[in-house]
Structure 1
Amino acid sequence: MESSTLPIHNPAERLLIILQRCSQDKTDETVQTVFSRAMEVENDPDSVQKGLIQLLQLIYHIEDQLQYFPSRKQSSYKELMKQIKDELISVFSRLEMSWSNSFLEPLNSPDWLALHWLSSCVEDVEQIYLSKEDLNRLREEILGLIQMIEDSKITQGFKQFLLIKLNEVLEALNKFYIVGYNGLRKEILATLTEVGINQVEGEDKETKNNISQKLCEFLTKIVPEKAQKINPLISLPVNVYKLAEMFTNNNFLPPGN
């Protein structure tokens, strides 16, 4: 379900675009074909079912964030998510139906009121999730670090280890719409820990320290300030700085700048 044409920063917007594509499709093809096209997955039962499961996961991620909305919006959006969820669950048993079948309403109707309210939800989620600009900036920084390591003269073993770890962070950024801040936080902390404790025979200590320092600086700033204000549970700096301090005291990370 990964595609550059679908937004990766906002789960509500990704859900909305897919549902809008479906609702505006006027073909007589099967439900499976319409959803495969909207979700940009292969047109086969397994791929479409996996895509539908990810759509349900998007809803669960949105529901997790409702606690940070005003109470009146919480109840409205909870009902909205339930309505969309119920409609998507019904699709699993209708994949071979014709999309123009009247029994598929409101999914095949561009006038489905849920789409209007989901548009409002997209705007609210935008306030608590990464913006497109933030996400693109972070991805570019990670890609820059990957290129720096690929061009470096460090030992092949350490280089391969670092590239694997950075590509895991990049994957979390590319799947931000599904992993959210908690998944990103988990990947960041795991990466910082493993880089700090990794010992490579024959590796130049100064080179390793320089790279580790750059990684530490990047990983401590990756979660934007607005997310920390809204949900202190996903704030990274305190935990990461304590972790970095522990490594520094054990000479795993360099002191100073």
Structure 2
Amino acid sequence: MRIIAVEDEPIFANTIRRIVEDDLGYELVGMTDNSEEMLRFFVSMKPDLALMDIHINGSMNGIEVAKKISNSEFSVPIIFITSYEDKAIFDSAKEANPYAYITKPIDADLLQRTIELAISRYAKSNHIEDGKQWKSDILIRDHFFIKTETNQLQKVAIKDILVVEIIEKTCQITTKEKTFTVKMPLKEIEERLPITDFVQIHRNTIVNAYFIDNIDLQDNVLTIGKNHYDISRRHKENLLSRLNMLK
């Protein structure tokens, strides 16, 4: 996960950097203390989430920056981190629709839980089915956020997925680099994949058509890279109708 942060106090900036990179293992792609550079970060860095102090340097405070971001095409979940517990400040911060709000000092466990809450709320605000997929360790937009064994949120682009299949009663999502195990049923994942790119070839297997290397129509086997996947009779006709075939 790519995170940017705005913090004008060096001691807290160092704490955020240590927690995000060392304790949680995420990528801190930008750290600044002012509003103008923060807005530039959103355009150039394309982060997945932002940590925002309210009182920052520049022509705008953190609340004003958050409002601009939430109304732009670069909108991402924003977590306010502040030293202030004043009700007026909190009420003002709510107007920017942050996805979470925590006060300093922070620790790794608190920030991890807050990030998960922010991502979950972000899913719901984007009209994703009532957080159902979050409970199953997966979130979809133009990518998945998948919970790993180390409790991190791994970003996986949909276009990079090769195969989704059931292996020993668990559902696995495979890319060229890695395989992830998730709790969501195959049927629910299928409903969230673009039908123009993915096709089911077996009751246990969905493949990305872009990565198909070969189809053996005699043995009903499909090849992606070095791996072979069975094509069931039930799904064979649909598979062939979806492909651009040269006879």
TM range (shorter): 0.3 to 0.5
Higher strand share: 2
With the length of structure 2 as denominator, give the TM-score of the two structures: 0.33
Higher helix share: 1
With the length of structure 1 as denominator, give the TM-score of the two structures: 0.32
Q: Which has the higher contact order (CA 8 A, sep 6+)?
A: 1
